[in-house]
Each structure stands twice: as C-alpha cells, then as structure tokens.
C-alpha cells in the first residue's frame, strides 16, 4: 500500500514508487482532488477524507479505515511520504504486524517534520531521510526523489510568444498573494518581461486558494496534474512556490524553475521549510531561488538557459 497526502507528498511517492521493489498488488490511499485523480488514473485508489495540518481529530478518524483496509485488502506493507495521514495509518498498521516504511519529505533538508518526529517514537516503523547528512540510528538513507534529475545548458528560442507558468501548488489552506501580486508587473501586458524581450507573453496563472480579485489576470485555481504537466512542458519559464510537488512537476517537465519561498509568519505555510528545499535545488543546479516581490525579467530569462533531464537513479531499497 502507498499512502500520502495530496500535493508534494503524493508527487514524491509517485516518483519513488517505481524505484521500490514490488510487494503484491498496489493500493494507493490518498485524498481526492484534481491532482490525485489525474496522477493516479488507472491505478487502484482508495480516496479518504483530507487530514488537515496538525489536526488530531482528523488523524484519529483515519484508524477505522486503516483497520478496514488491513482486514479486507490483506495489506502486508505500507510505504508513506506523509504528512499527517501517516499518523492515522502507520502506528495502527505497525501494531498489526504490517511492514511500515515512512520516507520523510525531501522538503525536510535538516531535520524531521512534526510527523516524522512523532513516528520516530513509534516501534516497528522503518524511517528514511532523503539526505545522508542527518541519517543515523533512527533514520536510514536510501536516496532522494531528486536523484532522478540532472541539469544541462540550453539554448532558448529567440522568437515567438513567451509561455510562462506561475503555480502556487494544490494546498487548500495557504494562499500566496505576495507571489501573484509581485509577478503582475513583470508578466502582465506591457510588463518588464515583454519590454525586455519585445515578445508577447502568455501566462497560465495557477492560483490555488489565493484571492485574485482586482488583479489583471485570468486565474486557474486548480487543474489536473496531466494538464499542468503539459503546460509546464510547453512553457519557456516557470515560476513556482518552493513546494516539493510543484518543484518535482517542473523538473519532470524539463524546466529549471524560479522558486519563490513562502513565509509561515505571514500565514503562507505551516513552517519555513521551503527555503531549505529551494537552497538544496539551487545546490543541485536544478532551480533558482528568489523571494516574493524580487523576481525580475532578468531572472526569468536566465532560467531559460538551463534544461532538466531525467537521470537513471538507483533503486530505493527498503529495509526489513
């Protein structure tokens, strides 16, 4: 069984699943939204109620479903990338003798998340970090989801319409108005990018739950993963919040994204892990990091000079 919250957690698990040795029939457990229905089409999926951030009642309500799946589907192994949904399933299933594996999000560059901190106190759950520098007795290391990508120089097209995708991800709880508002002067008609290139600019604004009233844009709150992937692949430039799922989708489409970090203090995220993730992707040569309101036309043009290709990563070997 593969278990993950929608968004970056599900995107990571989908990327890692093919590197994990199979163990019987696959069952995916996640929440229902445009991303999950598209990403997991033609797979065996159990859609369950959304587990909100740090919401104990939501976690407790997972247990009856965990019991039902264990009894009716004969679950013998579960692999999860979190987040809170893992707390509702892994401890219960581990107590029933199911082999449980928790892979910490690639967004956690320096230390475990709140979910990981709780699970490291639960017996019979194997835990993995995606960064070797903080692996140890409690956390193994078997690779990173980002091992699947490598950056190479590119020669961008010099004429025609410049296609841009702006994406804030799928989170239903955290708007990111600073990203959208800061990009309007750069990407809007007659804006800085059009002025710098002399080329028309076409923008897909994927805005999530961010209010856009009064802005001169055509917002698309959410769209299926396949549609977003196609738009990313057709784009010359991608500007994204520094979420793991959005970064992975951009890299999978061959783009070198400009990542803009959210602020927990401003109510844009639950914590400030996005900065660490953005820095890690910059270190790998896979992205550019900027703060909200500081993205320039020059940053966008520079990002077009790098393309991203698929690498051939090793297997992600589970222990036990």
Res. 171 pLDDT band, cuts 50 70 90: confident
CB atoms within 10 A of CB 122: 15
Name the more confident of 101 and 272.
101
Strands, E assignment, the chain: 2-3, 28-30, 45-47, 77-80, 99-103, 125-129, 140-141, 149-153, 162-167, 201-206, 219-220, 237-241, 258-260, 288-290, 306-310
How far is residue 85 CA from its own chain's centroid? 16
How far is residue 51 CA from its own chain's centroid? 17
Q: Is the pLDDT of residue 172 over 80?
A: no
Outline which parts of the chain fall under CATH 3.40.50.2000.
2-148, 152-310
What pLDDT shows up at residue 320? 79
pTM score, whole prediction = 0.90
Percent of the chain that is helix, strand, coil (3-state, to 5): 35, 20, 50
Q: How far apart are CA 290 and CA 210, in angstroms?
A: 19
Res. 138 pLDDT band, cuts 50 70 90: very high
| Three-class secondary structure of residue 34 per DSSP | helix
Backbone angles phi, psi at 169, to 5 degrees: 85, -170
Res. 81 pLDDT band, cuts 50 70 90: very high
Q: Is the pLDDT of residue 37 over 90?
A: yes
User: What tokens appear for 250 in the block?
Assistant: 């951009």
User: What tokens appear for 189 in the block?
Assistant: 């008609």
Q: Is the pLDDT of residue 29 over 90?
A: yes
What pLDDT shows up at residue 72? 97
Res. 197 pLDDT band, cuts 50 70 90: very high
- Average pLDDT of span 59-73: 97
Q: How far apart are CA 151 and CA 146, in angstroms?
A: 11
What pLDDT shows up at residue 53? 85
Comparing 20-24, 155-159, 236-240, the range with the smallest average pLDDT is 155-159
**CA dist 188 → 90, 138, 192, 208, 260 (Å):** 47, 49, 8, 19, 18
Q: What is the pLDDT of residues 265-288, one digit of tens each?
A: 999 998 888 999 999 999 999 999
What pLDDT shows up at residue 151? 97
Q: Is the pLDDT of residue 183 over 90?
A: yes
172, 166 Cβ separation under 8 angstroms: no
Q: What is the pLDDT of residues 157-167, one digit of tens each?
A: 888 999 999 99
Query: What share of the chain has pLDDT > 90, as a percent?
Result: 93
Fold entry, domain 2-148: Rossmann fold (3.40.50)
What pLDDT shows up at residue 165? 98
Q: Is the pLDDT of residue 308 over 80?
A: yes
Res. 181 pLDDT band, cuts 50 70 90: very high
- Average pLDDT of span 72-77: 97
CB atoms within 10 A of CB 111: 14
Residue-averaged pLDDT of the chain: 96
Specify whether domain 152-310 bears CATH 3.40.50.2000.
Answer: yes
Q: Is the pLDDT of residue 84 over 80?
A: yes
What pLDDT shows up at residue 288? 98
What pLDDT shows up at residue 87? 98
Q: How far apart are CA 161 and CA 247, in angstroms?
A: 24
User: What tokens appear for 256 in the block?
Assistant: 């070198």
Strand partners, 201: 162
H or E element in which residue 308 lies: strand 306-310
Res. 54 pLDDT band, cuts 50 70 90: confident
């Amino acid at each position: 069984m593969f278990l993950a919250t929608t968004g970056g957690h599900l995107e990571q698990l989908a990327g890692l699943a093919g590197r994990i040795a199979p163990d019987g029939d696959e069952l995916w457990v996640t929440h229902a939204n445009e991303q999950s229905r598209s990403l997991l089409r033609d797979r065996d999926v159990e859609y369950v109620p959304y587990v909100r951030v740090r919401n104990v009642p939501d976690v407790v309500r997972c247990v009856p479903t965990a019991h039902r799946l264990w009894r009716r589907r004969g679950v013998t192994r579960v692999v999860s990338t979190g987040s809170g949904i893992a707390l509702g399933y892994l401890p219960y299933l581990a107590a029933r003798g199911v082999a449980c594996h928790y892979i910490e999000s690639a967004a956690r560059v320096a230390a475990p998340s709140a979910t990981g901190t709780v699970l490291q106190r639960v017996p019979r759950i194997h835990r993995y970090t995606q960064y070797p520098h903080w692996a140890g007795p409690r956390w193994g290391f078997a690779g990173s989801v980002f091992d699947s990508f490598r950056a190479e120089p590119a020669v961008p097209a010099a004429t025609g319409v410049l296609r841009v995708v702006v994406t804030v991800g799928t989170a239903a709880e955290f708007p990111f108005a600073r990203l959208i508002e800061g990009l309007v002067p750069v990407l809007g008609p007659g804006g800085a990018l059009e002025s710098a290139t002399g080329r028309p600019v076409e923008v897909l604004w994927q805005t999530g739950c961010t209010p856009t009233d009064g802005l001169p844009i055509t917002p698309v709150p959410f769209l299926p993963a396949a549609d977003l992937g196609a738009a990313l692949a057709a784009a010359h430039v991608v500007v994204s919040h520094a979420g793991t799922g959005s970064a992975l989708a951009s890299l999978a489409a061959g783009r070198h994204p400009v990542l803009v970090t959210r602020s927990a203090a401003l109510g844009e995220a639950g914590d400030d892990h996005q900065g660490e993730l953005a820095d890690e992707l910059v270190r790998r040569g896979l992205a550019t990091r900027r703060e909200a309101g500081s993205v320039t036309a020059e940053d966008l043009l520079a990002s077009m000079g790098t393309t991203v290709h698929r690498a051939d990563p090793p297997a992600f070997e589970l222990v036990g």
